[in-house]
Amino acid sequence: MGRTYPVHEIEQLKKGEGEVIWADGCLAILKALLESGVAYLGGYPGAPVSNLTDAFLDAEERILKPMGIFVANNVNEAAAAAMLRFSVNAPLRGAVAWKVVGTNVAADAFAHVCSSGVQGGAVIFVGEDYAASSTLVVQKTLPYGYNFGAPVLDPKADLNHVAQLTRLAFELSETCRMPVLFLVRTRVGNMKGWLKVKDNLQPKFNLHHRLPELQLEPDRFPIPPFTQKQEQEKWHQRIPFAKSFIHQNGINERYDNGGRKGIIVHGLLFNVALRALMRLGEVEVRQRDLVATHAQIANAPKDAISLLQHPVPAPQPPIRDLQSQVPDFQSPVPNTQSLSFGIPLLSLHALFPLVEDELAEFLEGKDEVLIVEEGEPALIEREIRAIAQQIGWNGQIVRSEFLPTTGELTTDIVTEGISKFLSNSNVFVSVSRPVPRVPLDERLPVVPRFPNFCTGCPERPAVLTALKIFRELCPEARFEVVLDIGCYIMGIYYLRDLVSPVTGMGTCLASSLASSFLSQERTIYIVGDGTFWAQALTTSISNALYHKQDCIVLILENFWTAMTGHQPNPSTQIGEHAGNLDIEGTLKGMGAKWVKVVNPYEVGEVVKLLEEAWQLSEIGPRFLIVRGECMLERSRRERKEREQLRVVGKRVIEAHFGVDPLICVGDHSCLHYNNCPSLSVRPSPNPLKRDMIVKAEQTCVACGLCGSVAHAAKLCPSFYRVEWVQNPSFWERLKFKLRRWLIGI
Amino acid sequence: MMDRVVKEMKSLTTPITVLVAAVGGQGGQLFSQWLFDAAREAGFCPTGVGLPGLSQREGATVYYLEFFAEPEATFLFSPFPEKGRVQILVGLELLELLRAVRDGYLAEDGIIIGSTHRVLTTDEKLPISGKFVTAEQVLPILQKQAKECIAFDAVQAAALAGLSERAANAILFGALASSGVLPFPIEAFRKAIEHYGVAVSFNLRAFEFGLRYRDWLPQLRNFDDFATQEWESLPEPRLPAQLLRKLEALSADDELTSILHQAAKWLCHYQDARYFGRYLECVEMVYERDEGRGTRDELLVTKEVARILAMRMAYEDAIRVAQLKTQRQRFERIRKEHQIGKETVYKVVDFFSPDWDELTGLLPFGRTMDTQKVTWDKGQGSQETKKDELPKLPSQSEEFKRAALQMKIETSSLMGYLLLNVLQLLKPLRPYSHRFKKEWAAINEWLEAVKRAIDKDYDLAFLVARSGELVRGYGRTRRKTLALWRTFMAFLKALEKQGVKVSEVVDLGEQFLALAMSGPEGAEKAWKFAKEKSDEMSG
């Protein structure tokens, strides 16, 4: 598989105490996991934590296996959540990762684990994507924390803080016996920077030295009468323990030099607010201190780190005798000591549970507090209002007055909001140039850029080309296209009026069951192999076979979980798990009557099979497995292989497609059927032709679709395939010379 | 430049801010990684965030970097770029560069360094008369926005360097290094490429080329594309004196002269000088009526007819395709375009799918048609239609079911080459073929219509002249576009019949043409438009 992390970045994970590494957010998390002595890792890939899954897999052979850490590539989030149950019965630490909507899939298993309570630390790294830059629905994780009683941590955009909070998360989890939800926002997971690291810690029990005995206790089983006991324990013991841990360790930071107005932020909004306050002149960075504190980083005493003025001692929660393999908690990089705030700031990094005392203290003596909270439901705001009411605070809490309550809070937006809050007016004193110096011509077509299927993608021929030709070939055939979640969902941009809305991972065929019986339109369902195994098999396919739903199912088997960056899935043909599962055999075993396999690049064949399947409406679901490896993955690998062969003098063929510029008439039909990124347009070299003709870019990977579309859709003869040979044989060279001499090629 | 940045850096808490905008797949991630590492090599402390988004799939991607002077200051990192505060804006693609500028990120004294290369969006590609954002359009704007703007087509630069398109980002990286915009020594940039270890020797070559960008930039402007070279290498026509005189007489202004010369080149290559003579006759007939008409004696109709007629007369048939596919210049162009070395063994395979019509069209059927005889009214509609009804477009599904010969021919092999060359032997027989008869019937319909319109209204004549360009393509596209043109004429006729004012007819006709040219599905849209409008008028 394609590596996300080069070897030299993975090698950094071996570094120890006091050394500095350069990493992105996800690699920093993995390093902190190793420092925390984690015994098992898992998850299901999805932006913005797909990098974390990549890091697990990329480090598996080099780092994790030698340390005895077990890495699972779980088939879905429910499997990953359920795996955490190990920490219920074993004093071993585990971590899994999934994206925010994955929590929906995991929720059932997760609820049970939360009820039982863990003894080994369990942390879930949740890809929080409120901006929905790579998520279909907008959703926050925090409500899940409330729902299950699981603490929610939210780091700054500062890798040192990310790593520190990761280490703390395990301690917190063990202190309160709850799994911890750790938010990894897009701009944290994808952030690059430096961090100071500690020594790795091998888990006491591991792959090489297995745990001799599980601690199986009936009272951990969520079933009456234990269920109610667990519920009581959760809210009356575990959560209070969590609060005191959060408080004692100064997870929430307070910067308060006194003042009548205050600001409360959370997570990376700390960085955002800091930049905003710097721009507004409300914070001073004492440069001398900044440098001076450098020396203190390594040896800061433990109690110096609490930024709260008067830490309230809390009772030590009784921890079951857990072998503490945790390294000493070390201070955060005390760079914040160099800050001098003109306005009090409370930066929350444990969003649930909130510590009432901390908030009460912050509110005290202030008239007005602005809560900079991202999105709805604004549970932090509500909670703080409740606390204010409880303590009989008379000040004002504001949020929606100055900041948008939905959408991403960028530095510019927060600067404007804070500025208005401080000046108590709706006038925003601009601190930077908000508009371009020269007004841009509004007619300038800064057109939106929709994503597309990659060059040579094996899914495009099925999703776009074959369906378009099929529709034109059989205009009487009426159908909806149901796209599941995967790269192929981009079909929405090209099949607009044919597509019904997506209902979540693997559920989409099930979403059209009623429609299949009540509407005249039939269903063509498109699903990839990763989604097939993750959820579609059980939720959609078995449901359809059971009800004999009249539908055609296109299974795009490209052997990789491509959309999230080429993680292996059960269909992957490379690696130790290759060949363990088989889609065709599975379907036949389930009783499917019509299962065919087709090469997507032979688009005429795909159309023919679609026509055949269309006729067989009485037999229930018809399955067409469109089998072709993800081209991105394949061409990366093959390019490398070709290069290796070329160097040692072996015969290597390279190929491209091209368009003859004087033959292309410019009707753009090929773009209509085959919207390949490597097909572009250019002015015709023939000055008599004013229109744009098609050209093939050098990015072409010669998948052959252009040729097969030209045949299947009867397009113009301007496409050609050119093939050249490195290190040709003697005869080949001779033949070529002869041709050159005779026909002048 | 460097001094300014360094001066600013004296303030430890103020980072250098860089925004990199790119299209997924262009290597924006790699570029920002290099930049990140170069900053480290230069003793700075970089932080950054990438929003790769749907980067593998041509989505817009953005990377934002802040370089601090001291590691202790990096906690001040802002994970969002701020409007008006980005000092250096790098764009690997023109539209994305423009988008970042439009969003107002660039600081007042900001610097732009970018590639003017375009990765077209789907919506830009589909319209037949594609109008998209170009460097000529955008560069003046960018130059006004930035204090300094270094922009060139990095993909073309890669071709100039004899490297593949993948070299573009390293070339731009080289240009950034040598521009002195960042206070990093060049060695830091070089080390960054070596450090990250992706295709190091290839990228270093591109980088070194990029370093010398000032030297080759003038060359880049004159860098011609190979397709244009192919057109230019077509043989110059040799015309008999009589035709030359006629051509001279018709050359009213530079534009028309140029069109006529290009038509001579195209048609003589297509058929022969006699065929071009026939072309001149047709142009002459329009010219006579056009002279003195129009507002400024611009001969607009004549020019449009002259341009379009040359293409209509050189309709694409199997003989033409065989001719263009076997030209020496074509092989040379392919070799250059795909950067195949002069001595490298290569082969070319072509894809043909002629249908029955196209094959039988080559057979002789009757004599060559006299230009004057076939008129619009006698035109053979593609399908029988009732009076007063718009001619229908051919059914797509029937078109798909039509028999066609699917062939892959290796044109670079002796057999393939011979096969195609034999087809060319039929060239002298072309004027006796069935297809020729049909094409000329359609051409005459069009010319007649232009002539009749010119007597009525000049704008209408210009519209009808332009409509001739609708007819294009091979096989099913040809049938569809011809039917569409007939729809267009029937539409105009129906409007006139309803007593619609001429100016309004022209207006509706313009809309029809715009729809028809709006993309591959334009024909259907235009047909629907005509149907709705004529129903509206009659109902």
pLDDT in tens, A196-221: 999 999 999 999 999 999 999 889 99
Q: In this complex, which of A160, A449, A699 lies closest to B121 when CB atoms are compared?
A: A449
Chain A nearest-CA distance from B497, in A, is 32
What confidence tens digit (pLDDT) does each residue in A547-569 have?
999 999 999 999 999 888 889 99
- Does residue A725 sit in helix, strand or coil? strand
Mean pLDDT for the stretch of residues A287-312: 34
**CB–CB contact B56 A665 (8 Å):** no
Determine which of A644-653, B5-14, B265-274, B424-433 has the lowest per-residue pLDDT on average: B5-14
Q: What's the CA dihedral at B396, B398, B402, B407 to 10 degrees?
A: 30
The whole-number pLDDT of residue B376 equals: 32
End-to-end CA distance of chain B: 71
**CB–CB contact B13 A290 (8 Å):** yes
For chain A, give the percent of residues with pLDDT over 90: 76
Name the pLDDT band for B27 (thresholds 50, 70, 90).
confident
Q: In the predicted model, what is the mean pLDDT of chain A?
A: 88
Chain B nearest-CA distance from A444, in A, is 8
**CB–CB contact B80 A410 (8 Å):** yes
Amino acid at A298: A
Backbone φ and ψ for A308, nearest 5 degrees, come out as -75, 140
Return the DSSP state at B392: P
The whole-number pLDDT of residue A322 equals: 29
Determine which of B7-16, B281-290, B308-317 has the lowest per-residue pLDDT on average: B7-16
At A575, list the tokens: 């690696």
Size of interface A-B (CB pairs under 8 A): 388
- pLDDT above 80: residue B199: yes
Residues near A263 by beta carbon (within 8 Å), at least 6 away in sequence: A273, A343, A344, A345, A346, A369, A370, A371, A372, A418, A421
**CB–CB contact B25 A691 (8 Å):** no
The whole-number pLDDT of residue B148 equals: 93
The whole-number pLDDT of residue B293 equals: 76
Q: Rg of chain A over CA atoms, in angstroms?
A: 30
Mean pLDDT for the stretch of residues B15-40: 93
Q: Distance between CA B360 and CA B438 in Å, rounded?
A: 12
- Per the listing, tokens 């910067």 go with A255
The whole-number pLDDT of residue B295 equals: 66
**CB–CB contact B401 A160 (8 Å):** no
Amino acid at B46: P
The whole-number pLDDT of residue A3 equals: 61
What confidence tens digit (pLDDT) does each residue in B39-51 have?
999 989 999 998 7
pTM of the model: 0.90
Q: If we measure between CA atoms, which residue out of A88, A182, A184, A95 comes closest to residue A144?
A: A182
- Per the listing, tokens 């498109």 go with A526
Adjacent-strand bridge partners of A266: A348
> Residue A360: left if φ>0, alpha if ψ -120 to 50, beta else—which one?
alpha
Q: If we measure between CA atoms, which residue out of A525, A507, A630 comes closest to residue A567?
A: A630
- pLDDT above 90: residue A137: yes
The whole-number pLDDT of residue A320 equals: 29
Chain B nearest-CA distance from A390, in A, is 35
Chain A nearest-CA distance from B374, in A, is 26
- pLDDT above 90: residue A729: yes
- pLDDT above 80: residue B139: yes
Alpha helix positions (H), A128-279? 142-148, 159-176, 186-189, 226-233, 239-248, 269-279
At A722, list the tokens: 């050119």
Determine which of A298-307, A585-594, A713-722, B306-315 has the lowest per-residue pLDDT on average: A298-307
Q: Which position has the higher pLDDT, A335 or B440?
A: B440
Chain B nearest-CA distance from A436, in A, is 5
Residues near B312 by beta carbon (within 8 Å), at least 6 away in sequence: B439, B442, B443, B446, B468, B471
Question: 10 Å Cβ neighbour count for A547?
Answer: 15
Q: Distance between CA A435 and CA A417 in Å, rounded?
A: 18
The whole-number pLDDT of residue A174 equals: 96
Name the pLDDT band for A1 (thresholds 50, 70, 90).
very low
**Strands in A536-582 per DSSP E:** 551-557, 560-561, 567-568
What confidence tens digit (pLDDT) does each residue in B74-125 have?
888 999 999 999 999 999 999 999 999 988 899 988 999 999 999 999 888 8
At A363, list the tokens: 């509110």
What residues of chain B lie within 8 A of the CB of A435, using their CB? 104
Amino acid at A710: A
Amino acid at B137: Q
What residues of chain B lie within 8 A of the CB of A455, using their CB? 25
Backbone φ and ψ for A683, nearest 5 degrees, come out as -65, 150
**CB–CB contact A717 B474 (8 Å):** yes
Q: Which residue is closest to A334 within chain B, CA to CA?
A: B72
Backbone φ and ψ for A277, nearest 5 degrees, come out as -70, -35
For chain B, give the percent of residues with pLDDT over 90: 61
Burial of B503 (0-12, 13-18, 19+ CB in 10 A): exposed
The 10 Å CB-count burial string (b at 16+, else e) for B436-467 is bbbbbbbbbbbbbbbbebbeebbbbbbbbbbb
For the four alpha carbons of A728, A730, A732 and A734, in that order, the dihedral sign comes to positive
Q: If we measure between CA atoms, which residue out of B217, B14, B24 comes closest to residue B113?
A: B217
- pLDDT above 60: residue B458: yes
Mean pLDDT for the stretch of residues B312-326: 94
> How many helices, marked H, and strands, marked E, lie in chain B?
25, 8
Q: Rg of chain B over CA atoms, in angstroms?
A: 29
What residues of chain A lie within 8 A of the CB of B351, using their CB? 706-707, 710-711, 717, 719-721
CA atoms within 13 A on the CB side of A706: 32
**CB–CB contact A714 B353 (8 Å):** yes
Return the DSSP state at B364: B
CA angle at A353 for the pair A347 and A355, rounded to the nearest 5°: 60
Amino acid at B135: A
Q: In this complex, which of A20, A681, A724 lies closest to B130 when CB atoms are compared?
A: A681
- Does residue B10 sit in helix, strand or coil? coil
CA atoms within 13 A on the CB side of A17: 8
- Does residue A434 sit in helix, strand or coil? coil
Q: Distance between CA A63 and CA A565 in Å, rounded?
A: 21
What residues of chain B lie within 8 A of the CB of A469, using their CB? 400
Return the DSSP state at B433: B
What is the length of chain B? 539
Burial of B257 (0-12, 13-18, 19+ CB in 10 A): middle
For the four alpha carbons of B453, B454, B457 and B461, in that order, the dihedral sign comes to positive
Chain B nearest-CA distance from A584, in A, is 28
